[in-house]
A and B are shown apart, each in its own frame.
Chain A
Amino acid sequence: MKEILGLEAVTKEYGQGDIKVFALKDVSMSVNQGDFLALAGPSGSGKTTMLNLIGGLDRPTHGKVEVDGVDISRLSGGALSRLRLHKIGFVFQAYNLIPVLTAYENAEYVLMLQGASVKERKRKIMSLLKEVGLDGKENRYPRELSGGQQQRVAIARAIAAEPALVLADEPTANVDSKTAKALLDLMERLNTEKGITFIFSTHDPAVMDRARKLVHLKDGKIEEIEEKESKTREPNAD
């Protein structure tokens, strides 16, 4: 299996002097292409910090973060921005869709930034929205969609450009358990059928259960890495 992500002795400190906070302490791990990985841990354990470092939204205080063979801690702001555009997809807890854009336009946005033609965008996004279960809702604005539907748009936006890695920070924390399960079904299907690598964080045991690789974080350190390669999946719910 190809390694898509590597963390080497990554430390992230906040603040300075006496009031230093270690959000992450000397963390090392690696993620392979096609992984379906959960960062698990209570609030304040460093999940968001870790995702931010992987996604190039923040820089480590010490250590190395390698995405697809590139040490991103050394990249300039512009290069990081391009890396995020081409290699990483983001899904946020609060969906973070652009309110003035329709579902279609939100999903299409990254492709537009990449310079894809209108025709190509249309072909890709229409089939993608169908795939995430938003058939017929292309022209709705985020406020006209339920939380679960908005998160589906966010997932479509995250995978539209076929990134190497999709990072999802507590993607199901804002929805009820039934919707959470449906969203996880979707992510899992995209993972197995399309081979998209997912790293998502959660503090919900029901969600952790769905991961095939589980990284337990506590106080900024990795407590345990659980491989559940043999886990049998339920038959597709949809």
Chain B
Amino acid sequence: MALSKIIKLAWRNLWRHKRRTWITVSSIGLGMAFALFLIALGDGVYKKLIDQGIRLEAGHVTLEHPDYEKAPAVDRYVGPLSSISKACRSISGVKRIRPIIRGQAVISTSAGSSGVGVVAGNPEEEKAVSLIPGKIVEGRYIEKGDKRGVVIGKSLAKRLKLKVGKKLVLTTNDVNGELVNELLRVKGIFKTGIEEADGFLVQVPLAVGRRIYKLPDDYVTRIGLILDDPKDQDSVMEAVSAALSGKNVAVLPWQKVLPDLSSYIAVDKGSNIIFQITILFLIGFTILNTILMSVMERQREFATLLAIGTSPLFLKAQVLVESAFIGLLGCVLGLGIGGSLSYYVEKNGLDMSSTFSKGTSVAGFTIDPLIRTDLTMGLMLWLGLGVFLGTMVIGLYPAFKSGKVDIAQTLRMN
């Protein structure tokens, strides 16, 4: 059959200039490996940032009063917690339900005062989700029975000269708008490396928060849902919305709750894409150059083949199959190198502490110096398909040219 002949001819033609073919295939492969690794690395960093963000704020999906997002205030509370929890627990993909009360306050000591964010949560739940319980450097984390216990960040402690066991006064407005004062005792000091947490966040048990702000029983300001797999976010949101329909509850994705982080990731992805497109463009140029060169120097051969009765379509198909081989080999090399590199870094992590200065942060979140790639089958598939199809598209022009040879004129040239 002609097709097997086309493939055979194309394959042999590919290796007429072994060096040139290898240079092209390796430039596709290396460029692709580089792009794959960078994308996987970026995705890994984003994944970690998102994870940190949701651990600090609430969850992948957040349930709150419909007006809370516009103007967060403790009187816009959501509940009853028991029935919402019950409804959410039956939805598959929901791993944890994390109720918190979030409010603003000023804390004062003899050394001074500072505005802070208050996060009141169930210590048991927080230990499983929040960053802070694992970052205690002095004292201990709050416990359910702590009537006046509070944990504060290292830099806040430094500013207000606070130590474990010391007292502080927390001043805030309750749900009725009345000024309240509460005496609390420092149980522990944490250090996350995230300045927004270490300098401005305090945590108290849920019951203490409810008492301070005078929230009704079974009501909180936010219910965070932690998912088994963040990719299920959309479907879980749909199910939650359906389960809670009729209740006065807004179901929000983390992107709404952490808008700064979300827009940072979008911008960063955008600039990465420009970079990746530049790489792919350069690769594309190499491919075009190689295929075009191999077509131009075979003009005489093409003229001969046409003269003895080969159809122009046969020639075009042959050149296109050559491009396909180049694209295929490049993809195998690129996905092989990029994939194994990404896989390795996903498993072992890449310690960037020498590159990142301590506490490099984006949108208020510190980048962990041990970064891991996030390699997915989908990414490999899309990149592979993209590069392969790109090669084929680039190969169209040389293929078209091969069938357009002026036979008589070309054969005259010696």
A78 neighbours in B (Cβ, 8 Å)? 311
Stretch binding the partner chain, chosen from A33-41, A107-115, A125-133, A230-238? A107-115
Write the chain A residue with the least CB distance to B9: A100
A82 neighbours in B (Cβ, 8 Å)? 309
Q: Is the CB of B309 within 8 A of A55?
A: no
Q: Is the CB of B408 within 8 A of A58?
A: yes
One digit per residue, 1 when the CB lies within 8 angstroms of any chain A CB and 0 when it does not, for chain B 312-323 equals 101000000000
Residues 183 to 212 of chain A near chain B (Cβ within 8 Å): none
Would you give the shortest CB distance from A196 to chain B, in whole angstroms?
16
Residues 287 to 302 of chain B near chain A (Cβ within 8 Å): 300-301
Q: Is the CB of B407 within 8 A of A109?
A: no
Q: Is the CB of A57 within 8 A of B408?
A: yes
Q: Answer whether A57 and B307 are a contact pair too, CB < 8 Å, given A94-B414, A100-B9.
A: yes
B314 neighbours in A (Cβ, 8 Å)? 113
- CA of A52 to CA of B303, assembled, Å: 12
- CA of A93 to CA of B412, assembled, Å: 10
One digit per residue, 1 when the CB lies within 8 angstroms of any chain B CB and 0 when it does not, for chain A 88-113 equals 01101110101111000000011011
Q: Is the CB of B13 within 8 A of A81?
A: no
Residues 44 to 66 of chain A near chain B (Cβ within 8 Å): 48, 52, 55, 57-58
Which of B2, B300, B306 is within 8 Å of A112, CB to CB?
A: B2
Would you give the shortest CB distance from A58 to chain B, in whole angstroms?
4
A86 at interface by CB-CB < 8 Å: yes
Candidate in B314, B411, B412, B414 with the most chain A CB atoms within 10 angstroms: B411
A58 neighbours in B (Cβ, 8 Å)? 407-408
A157 at interface by CB-CB < 8 Å: yes
Would you give the shortest CB distance from A64 to chain B, in whole angstroms?
18
Which of A81, A92, A99 is within 8 Å of B411, CB to CB?
A: A92
- CA of A141 to CA of B307, assembled, Å: 21
- CA of A115 to CA of B314, assembled, Å: 13
Would you give the shortest CB distance from B302 to chain A, in whole angstroms?
10
Q: Is the CB of A84 within 8 A of B412?
A: no
A180 at interface by CB-CB < 8 Å: no
Would you give the shortest CB distance from B257 to chain A, in whole angstroms?
63
Q: Is the CB of A96 within 8 A of B304?
A: yes
Q: Is the CB of A90 within 8 A of B5?
A: no
Write the chain A residue with the least CB distance to B412: A48
Q: Answer whether A110 and B308 are a contact pair too, CB < 8 Å, given A96-B301, A98-B301, A100-B12.
A: yes
Q: Is the CB of A86 within 8 A of B408?
A: no
Write the chain A residue with the least CB distance to B306: A81
- CA of A100 to CA of B12, assembled, Å: 6
- CA of A215 to CA of B412, assembled, Å: 21
Q: Is the CB of A113 within 8 A of B309?
A: yes
Q: How many residues of B contact A (CB 8 A)?
A: 23
Chain B contact surface mostly? helix
Q: Answer whether A98 and B16 are a contact pair too, CB < 8 Å, given A57-B407, A85-B309.
A: no
Q: Is the CB of B13 within 8 A of A84?
A: no
- CA of A157 to CA of B312, assembled, Å: 19
Q: Is the CB of A55 within 8 A of B307?
A: yes
Candidate in B301, B307, B309, B412 with the most chain A CB atoms within 10 angstroms: B309
Would you give the shortest CB distance from B273 to chain A, in whole angstroms?
40
- CA of A103 to CA of B388, assembled, Å: 34
Q: Answer whether A112 and B308 are a contact pair too, CB < 8 Å, given A48-B412, A100-B16.
A: no
B310 at interface by CB-CB < 8 Å: yes
Q: Is the CB of A157 within 8 A of B311?
A: no
B305 at interface by CB-CB < 8 Å: yes
- CA of A110 to CA of B314, assembled, Å: 13
Would you give the shortest CB distance from B321 to chain A, in whole angstroms?
13
Q: Is the CB of A110 within 8 A of B300?
A: no
B310 neighbours in A (Cβ, 8 Å)? 81, 85, 113
- CA of A92 to CA of B408, assembled, Å: 12
Given contacts A48-B412, A99-B301, 13 further A-B contacts (CB under 8 A): A78-B311, A82-B309, A84-B307, A92-B411, A93-B414, A94-B414, A98-B9, A98-B301, A100-B9, A100-B13, A110-B308, A112-B5, A113-B2
Task: Report B's interface with A, CB cutoff 8 A.
Answer: 2, 5, 9, 12-13, 16, 300-301, 304-312, 314, 407-408, 411-412, 414
Nearest 7 pairs of A and B residues by beta carbon: A85-B309, A100-B12, A58-B408, A96-B304, A84-B309, A57-B408, A52-B408
27 pairs, A vs B, C-beta closer than 8 Å:
A48-B412, A57-B307, A58-B407, A58-B408, A77-B312, A78-B311, A81-B309, A81-B311, A82-B309, A84-B308, A84-B309, A85-B308, A85-B309, A89-B308, A90-B304, A96-B301, A96-B411, A98-B301, A99-B16, A100-B16, A101-B12, A112-B2, A113-B2, A113-B310, A113-B311, A113-B314, A115-B2
Task: Report A's interface with B, CB cutoff 8 A.
Answer: 48, 52, 55, 57-58, 77-78, 81-82, 84-86, 89-90, 92-94, 96, 98-101, 109-110, 112-113, 115, 157-158
